[in-house]
Structure 1
């Protein structure tokens, strides 16, 4: 319920909460972006590290908190469809909106293309491999085919890979020759960063709850709501942060946030939930088709980023068109028109 039950659970209230929460997410993302920029300059971080680590981890806080809260409550659900649906939204919609918001083309660089994008593709493959190992070695007794249990030892594998990612970023920071920056109130900026994260966390929790309530009220199937409405709601902080950066002609930070946020969600958020509850059952028949779409979306974005090292207006519209095709396919799966997803 909205505000912990203080407001009635009606569609009108849910719509009002969505609008108000969106405004607070916008406010919190502004604080997050500004403080991250000042702290990155003070500590001499490259723009790509600022976007892919500092801002990305911050804007992924709602997803991490959601997993932790539900796991501690004993109602943790893997939600592979919702997680991957959010990742697909990040890969297709956020770069598209950022490209349209930028003054001209959304510029990138070779570091982003050859390090961030390719490492993100490795992250997708690593999570699929983790699921496959669960199906092969830890099948649930008497469970359906192509299901497996992800245990704590298996969950550690993606975390090790994220550790490698942070090591690579640390090496880049060590090699980066940054100019000395003075006049930054470090304590105030850290406080502003924490306040931005808190505002985003509370606002997104209310936003997701109201979106789920609206989906239930209007009879939207859980799978469809998860990969569309909930995915878009949880991706709102990433969207606003990336669009703000694009408007400020910081294309590398904008796109770095997208790739870094998805890398964090896949390699950290999901394993943390497993570590808390012990084991999580995954349906490989649901996971693989969704990961297949995510891989295709990543390849398309990678190709667009490499051509002229920029996302043009035409490419931005193409990314939105691809996401529209994805939504049409999800609706078709929900209605039973297509049957590529055999599990669930």
Structure 2
């Protein structure tokens, strides 16, 4: 319902609501990310951990909120679509735009390539495995054979893997020695909480606006999440990564991309299941999207490993790949292609 029923539920109002909510998400995420960055410097965290854990979780909060609200609204497919679409956006668009605006080539390192990127690939495989277990052991009666349910015990699997990820990062922190930067800690924590509150309110309205449009125009919930919600909730990730790249912090910029996606897949989706208890997933819809996500991840991994840098030509290649993905999603929506069988 648009703003609790105070505004008419029309396509024009829904579009305006989506635009305003996106702007508020951008503002709240800016507060959240800047506070997270300052607190990381205060507590002396290394650049990789700062990008892949602290800043990544902060910039991923819109995606987390979208999953929670769609799960509560009974449109979990839209939330999963937002996470997968956001992950593809993060993998292809954010490094590309950061590489274009960076001064010279974006340098990577072996930590990013061999730890962050490979762990992210494991995260993708783990979530696909979790979905498959839901189809095998909790099938939905009356539905086709590829529809199953995710339960709380199954949701614990990706959460346990993320706990391992945090443990590995914690070991890096314990081995890292850095000078602490003095800041007004109380003020930064208050600004971080204010950013979280703004994001919560804005994402709730964003989900409502997209849900209204999808009903009006007959857009499948999963595809609406993959496109509109995914792009809107990924804007904060784009902002922080470009800003880090322009400041010469390419490791933090790329670490934010991979860490944000790892958090989205291993925490955001399982958290929606934990809140609701049981959600239905369509393997026929999810797996083709995870296949695209895997291809995008392999492409980024290969580009980052080549000379351990990201050039402007490689950045434009990533953008071309994302344009091809959007074109395919549009083709699926209008019925030109039929790769997604359950959509």
Fold equivalence (TM over 0.5) = yes
Matched, 1:161 2:161: yes
Which residue does 1:44 correspond to in 2? 44
The answer for the alignment partner of 2:325 in structure 1 is 326
- 1:301 match: 300
Contact kept, 8 Å, 1:76 with 1:273, in 2: the verdict is no
Q: CA deviation at 1:165?
A: 0.5
Paired residue secondary structure (2:76): coil
Q: 8 Å contact 1:89–1:231 — kept in the other structure?
A: yes
Question: For residue 188 of structure 1, what is the aligned residue in structure 2?
Answer: 187
Aligned equivalents of 2:207 and 2:236: distance in 1? 12
Contact map agreement 2:49 2:169 (CA 8 A) in 1:
yes
Distance in 1, Cα, partners of 2:139 & 2:23: 45
TM-score by structure 1 length?
A: 0.90
Match of residue 170 from structure 1: 170
Task: List aligned pairs for 1:120-159, cutoff 5 A.
Answer: 120-159=120-159
| More off after superposition, 293-302 vs 106-115 | 106-115
SS in 2 for 1:176: coil
Q: How many residues align?
A: 342
Matches within 5 A, 1:1-344: 1-72=1-72, 75-79=74-78, 80-181=80-181, 183-214=182-213, 220-344=219-343
* Residues 249, 218 of structure 1: alpha-carbon distance in 2 compared, 3 angstrom cutoff: farther
CA RMSD of aligned residues (A): 2.3
- Which consecutive unaligned segments of at least 5 residues does structure 1 have? none
- Taking the aligned partners of 1:159 and 1:96, their CA distance within structure 2 comes to 29
Query: 3-state DSSP class of the match of 1:60?
Result: helix
> Offset of 1:337 from its aligned partner?
2.3
Deviations 1:237-280 (A, max 9, x none): 22222222222222222221211111111111111121222222
| CA distance in structure 2 between the aligned counterparts of 1:28 and 1:224, rounded to whole angstroms | 26
> Is the contact made by 1:35 and 1:190 (CA closer than 8 Å) also made in structure 2?
yes
Following TM superposition, by how much is the alpha carbon of 1:207 offset from its aligned partner in structure 2, in angstroms?
Answer: 3.8
TM-score normalized by the length of structure 2: 0.91
Going from structure 1 to structure 2, the CA distance change for 1:309 and 1:57 (only over 3 Å counts) comes to same
Q: Structure 1 residues 250-259 or 11-20, which shifts more? A: 11-20
